[in-house]
Amino acid sequence: MIAVIDYKAGNLTSVVKALRYLGAETQVTQDAEVVRGASKIVLPGVGHFRATKLLEELGITEAVREAVKSGAEFLGVCVGLQWLFEGSTEAPEMRGLGHFAGQCERFPAVYEGAELKSPHVGWNSLDTVREGSRLLRGVAPGGFVYYTHSWRAPVVHATASVTHYGGAFTGVVERENVMGVQFHPEKSASVGLQVLKNFVEM
């Protein structure tokens, strides 16, 4: 069973629909005990980083820490990926899970002397794919995925794929059983479905 966390941050329904299309049994929940006992957890999200405050209020942050420590597979999508880091300048008062070091920051207004449009919306490529990545099994470098975001996670040691827009940022992060994607796999055609399929089959 995959526990899909509902923290009122958008795109929940489309992610659940994609997982069920792949044959996964899902349970949408705000219950920390359900999260604590799940073998797989998905945290989707579109919108403001401040929405993650509800995770703390519901006791889900600590439940995720315990579940991950016990071996549960975790996948964060969009804001769900950003939450895995220490925080975001979008809501400096909010702390992330802190599983990965670093802060998420807004795209620069100017890059290489030219104005950079933000949010970053549309198709862009996964320019690198780390060898041995379980989440990206069967995904070739250069595969296109769909993004819509104004804040981005830094490139860190656990980055499994890099995308370039206003410089390099983390498109996919993966360390053992904790993973995140900045793009929307449910909107990313065959590449996105392959990523979700890989997660379901872990």
Give the Cα separation of 46 and 152 in Å (integer): 13
Give the Cα separation of 152 and 89 in Å (integer): 10
48 included as an active-site residue: no
**Among 72, 73, 164, which Cα is nearest to 116's?**
164
Give the active site residue among 99, 120, 149, 184.
184
Give the active site residue among 73, 78, 99, 104.
78
The Cβ of residue 100 has, within 10 Å, a number of other Cβ atoms equal to: 22
The torsion angle over the Cα atoms of residues 94, 117, 152 and 8, rounded to 10 degrees, is 50
157 included as an active-site residue: no
104 included as an active-site residue: no
State the amino acid at position 71 in one-letter form.
G
Give the active site residue among 164, 174, 186, 201.
186
Q: Enumerate the active-site residues.
A: 78, 184, 186
